[in-house]
Amino acid sequence: MASPSAFPPLPDGLPPGRLIVPEDFRVPPQWVGKEILWVSDEPLPDADHLWARLYGAHTETGLYPLLLCGHFRDADRPWHAGELGYWPVGTIDVLGAEGVLRRMWESVTPDEFGEWRGLAPPAGSSGHGADLMDPGLAAQELAASYAAKEHPLIGLVPAGRGADALTLCGWNGPLNHTNHTQEISAVVRTWEDRFGARVVAVGFDTLHVSVAAPPLTLEHARHLADEHLAFCPDNIGDDFERYAAGLVGARQWSFWWD
């Protein structure tokens, strides 16, 4: 059996931290012992500044940064304890976001929502205006606001994009909705492409992404809210229209799975 691939070299200037290996029973045998994630030992008061520096360098380092918050702010769960899984990037590549969302839609929506109507058009497409922002700047703004509230850890994942980092770091946050985080990654990939979304922060069962090109009309936002409902039904509650209205011009999306 081939040994797990080595973790990439860490960049200079990191605080004290550790490489994380998932608990053996959470991964297939071929991935036992694989280092999937580097995490700081302690929460950082200036985590957003370090996140911004690491984000700016991630195409060179091959390491995507995440702001990480644990279960009730307990860093041990899931990050330090290795309460994580792992699947390689190829398990995301074989999935189509529309197929994933269609299946989720059919499994969670009541009859009054009707049939799945496909992916929402990207911002700036025909009939849909765009208020474009640099994705990196939008991500830094979210990092600053999140770090001020949560005092998170910093994590580094060997991943080319934030959507993939969710699966490659072994995160199991949506476990009660889907046992396959690669489905979450497949959907976030298409949000990166259509709305300039960037993964910034991950909690025990929460996800926070910045949005560089949000919907600007209620009609467009309603279509996007269909995707959010399928993706994370716990997030929306009983007032779909209010949720959809809140997506108009929103530069941040946050998700929580019960």
pLDDT of res. 4: 67
pLDDT confidence band for 1 (50 / 70 / 90):
very low
pLDDT tens readout for residues 17-30 = 999 999 999 999 99
Structure tokens at 191: 């949000």
Contacts by 76-81, CB closer than 8 A, 24 or more apart: 77/204, 78/171, 78/172, 78/204, 79/20, 79/37, 79/39, 79/153, 79/155, 80/18, 80/20, 80/39, 81/23
| Strands (DSSP E) found in the chain | 17-20, 37-40, 63-68, 153-158, 197-202, 206-211, 252-256
Classified as helix, coil or strand, 67 is strand
pTM recorded for the entire structure: 0.95
Backbone angles phi, psi at 182, to 5 degrees: -60, -25
Whose tokens are 């499994």? That residue is 107
Give whole-number Cα distances, 232 to 206, 212, 241, in Å.
10, 21, 16
pLDDT tens readout for residues 161-200 = 999 999 999 999 999 899 999 999 999 999 999 999 999 9
Q: Write the DSSP symbol of residue 178.
A: -
Task: Judge whether residue 143 has pLDDT over 50.
Answer: yes
Angle, helices 47-56 vs 135-150, to 10°: value is 150
Closest CA to 79 of 87, 88, 68: 68
Task: Judge whether residue 92 has pLDDT over 70.
Answer: yes
Whose tokens are 């799945």? That residue is 116
pLDDT of res. 74: 80
